[in-house]
Amino acid sequence: MKEKTMTIDPRYNMKFEPVKAMKATGKFLNNKEDTSQVFRIMSALDGGQSEKNFQRFKTTQTGSMVLAENRSLFEALCDRDHLRSCPEGSLGRAYLDFVTREGLSPEGFQAEIEAADEEMAHISPERLQLRMRIRHAHDLWHILTGYGRDTVGEVALLGFTYAQTGILGFAYLGTMVGFKAKREFEAMPVFACFKEGYEIGKKAGWLIEADWENLFHLPLEQVREMFSIDQPVKYFGIAERAAERDLELRKELAAIAA
Amino acid sequence: MMTSIAATIQNTDQRLARGARTQQKILAAALGILGDHGYGALSISGICTRAGVSPTSLYHHFGDKAGLLSAMIDESLVRNTQRYLSSMAGLVSPLDQLDAFMASVRQVFVDDAQNSSAILSALSQARGEATEIAETIGAARQRVWAFMAGKFAEYFKVEDGLILAHIFSAFSSYIPQVRQDPDSAEDVEALFTTLRTVLLIIGAAIQPDLMKDEKYAAAVEVARRELLQNPAVGNQPRSVIAAKE
């Protein structure tokens, strides 16, 4: 029997597959532990946008350097001694404070991604490098935009990320989480914050090309100005209440689990 | 005196009606050319010949090609919205509302597919055209999004529906792509089945109150079973599954 040869496209998913995304959504809603479905949704709704971003990134000064030097943002974020040596009020110190306060680690995030993203094995090393760079920059984006890790903040940051990357999957996930948040965070303008995040992201410079490793020592405000990142006025108006409500929900969940 | 005023009003009415008819003829001719030959064939002279009007008349009513494209988009938006609103009128049950929504999407992209595809494809091609046309198309897209955003915000009871409109617009443009394949009927069916299934499940997840409606709750149960057990609900065309079985 003639053996079938399978060609693997080293590019990101060039197809736009909304049906696949919808099916993955249904499965995820049935079993929220199955996070691989989230990666399936993102891949299905990519439609070649990641590839466009990669081609653009390659032509930027930072992009060509990052790729040529095979730089890893993950390693830079794991270098806590270096981050600690950054001046008070700098991006590096703000990042270190943020992950410490929130109990996060780049190592844990890396492990989560590796366990759930099936597409990692197929794309070229350079593309994987950019993908991981964008993912690891997520918490840096939190810091620069001012969005907290409460659910409303995450939704707004998804709006910002959608505007920056052009990837519809972020809009789709933001909408799903937004609907959930709308129920749990009653009377809070979740979708207004979502749109505000999108608008701030549209107006800001392209953070994908940020030379993070050389920005850590700079004052946070200076980096914000460098990328024209506006303050999220609507979100700041409810941030405190959102964080309190988030804490309540976490306590409720913990009580259920106990 | 009164007779002359009445005559003037009558003449004005007739002129307006004639103008509206001419506009419709031009729009129909442009849509016909888009549907038959694509955006590349859309020229002022071609439209005028097909509509049986003079170029002066076209410029009078629409200004230029950009104005004409903009009017086509607006006309399509108004037509589809009226259709959608009349299908939803008086429906209370959430399941009936969902099915009416599905039916109007089907009407736009399947029953009226030639027109919808022609406009969508023109939108996409015209964006790469001269700055003026690209700007007009951009502005028309913004109007469509703003309109849809308002409708989605109203339906889902959220403050802003702009990003929902983006998602809907992207998903909608996928249907004409699938339909380009002459054997796409099965795929289109699978697409609508999946869309309905997932919308039901999403509805239940985001608005638990919907599950108080017995019909809706029963439909969600069927949807969950279908999604998990029936491979036809998904990306794979039914024809392929049937052949395997």
Domain boundaries, chain B: 1-63, 65-244
Sign of CA dihedral A245, A250, A251, A255: positive
For domain B1-63, which architecture applies? Answer: Orthogonal Bundle (1.10)
Cβ B30 vs Cβ B47: under 8 Å: yes
Closest alpha carbon within chain A to B192:
A19
The confidence score (pLDDT) of residue B117 equals: 65
Which of A95-99, A103-107, B199-203 has the highest mean predicted lDDT (pLDDT)? A95-99
Give dist(CA B71, CA B238) in Å, integer: 39
Q: How confident is the model at residue A6 (pLDDT cuts 50, 70, 90)?
A: low
**B174, B208, B227: residue with CB nearest A16:** B174
- pLDDT computed for residue B235 by the predictor: 47
B194 interfaces chain A, CB cutoff of 8 Å: yes
Give the pLDDT of residue B3. 67
B156/A205 Cα distance (integer angstroms): 32
- The chain-wide mean pLDDT, for chain A, equals 91
B237 has pLDDT over 60: no
B23: nearest Cα among B53, B49, B61: B61
The alpha-carbon gap from B168 to the nearest alpha carbon of chain A, in Å, equals 10
Q: Band of the pLDDT at A35, cuts 50, 70, 90? A: confident
Q: Which residues lie across from A219 on neighbouring strands? A: A90
- pLDDT of B108: 77
Give percent above pLDDT 70 in chain B.
Answer: 84
Lowest mean pLDDT among A7-11, A57-61, A125-129, B56-60: A7-11
Q: What pLDDT digit, counting tens, does each position of B24-69 carry? A: 999 989 888 887 887 788 889 999 999 999 999 999 999 888 888 8
End-to-end Cα distance, chain B: 84
Q: Between B121 and B243, whose confidence is greater?
A: B121
Using alpha carbons, list the distances in angstroms from residue A144 to A137, A229, B221. 10, 7, 44
Q: What is the mean pLDDT of residues A163-181?
A: 93
The average confidence (pLDDT) of chain B is 79
Q: For position A142, what pLDDT does the model report?
A: 96
In this structure, of A23-32, A89-98, B157-166, B205-214, the range with the lowest mean pLDDT score is A23-32
Judge: A183–B153 Cβ closer than 8 Å, yes or no.
no
User: How many Å separate Cα B187 from the centre of its chain?
Assistant: 20
Q: Which residue has the tokens 């095979």?
A: A70
Over residues A53-66, the mean pLDDT reads 97
Which residue did the predictor score with more confidence, A236 or B191? Answer: A236
Q: Are A129 and A67 in contact (CB under 8 A)?
A: yes
**Residue among B162, B177, B197 whose CB faces A195 most closely:** B162
Residue B230 has pLDDT above 90, yes or no: no
DSSP-derived 3-state class of residue B5: helix
DSSP assignment of B194-230: HHHHHHHHHHHHH-GGGGGSHHHHHHHHHHHHHHHH-
Query: Which of B194, B207, B228 is opposite residue A30, by nearest beta carbon?
Result: B228
Question: What one-letter code names the amino acid at A162?
Answer: Y
- The pLDDT of residue B236 is 41
Confidence of residue A145 (pLDDT cuts 50, 70, 90): very high
Better pLDDT: A199 or B134: A199
Which contacts qualify for A56-63: CB closer than 8 Å, 24 or more apart?
A56/A206, A56/A208, A57/A130, A57/A208, A57/A209, A60/A209, A61/A209, A62/A209, A62/A210, A62/A211, A63/A130, A63/A209
User: Which residues of chain B have a CB within 8 Å of the CB of A19?
Assistant: 190-191, 194-195, 234-235
Q: For B90, left (φ over 0), alpha (ψ -120 to 50), or beta? A: left
Contact A159, A195 (CB under 8 A): yes
How far, in Å, CA of B94 to CA of A47, rounded? 32
Residue range B114-153, pLDDT digits in tens: 676 677 667 667 766 677 777 877 787 788 888 888 878 8
Phi-psi region of B237 (alpha: psi -120 to 50; beta: other; left: phi over 0): beta
Interchain CB contact of A195 with B (< 8 Å): yes
Query: In whole angstroms, what is the distance from residue A179 CA to residue A81 CA?
Result: 40
Give dist(CA B178, CA B183) in Å, integer: 9
CB proximity A183 to B under 8 Å: yes
Predicted complex: ipTM over 0.85: yes
pLDDT at B56: 93
Q: Is the pLDDT of residue A59 over 90?
A: yes
The rounded percent of chain A whose pLDDT value lies above 90 is 66
Residue A3 pLDDT exceeds 80: no
Is the full-model pTM beyond 0.80? Answer: yes
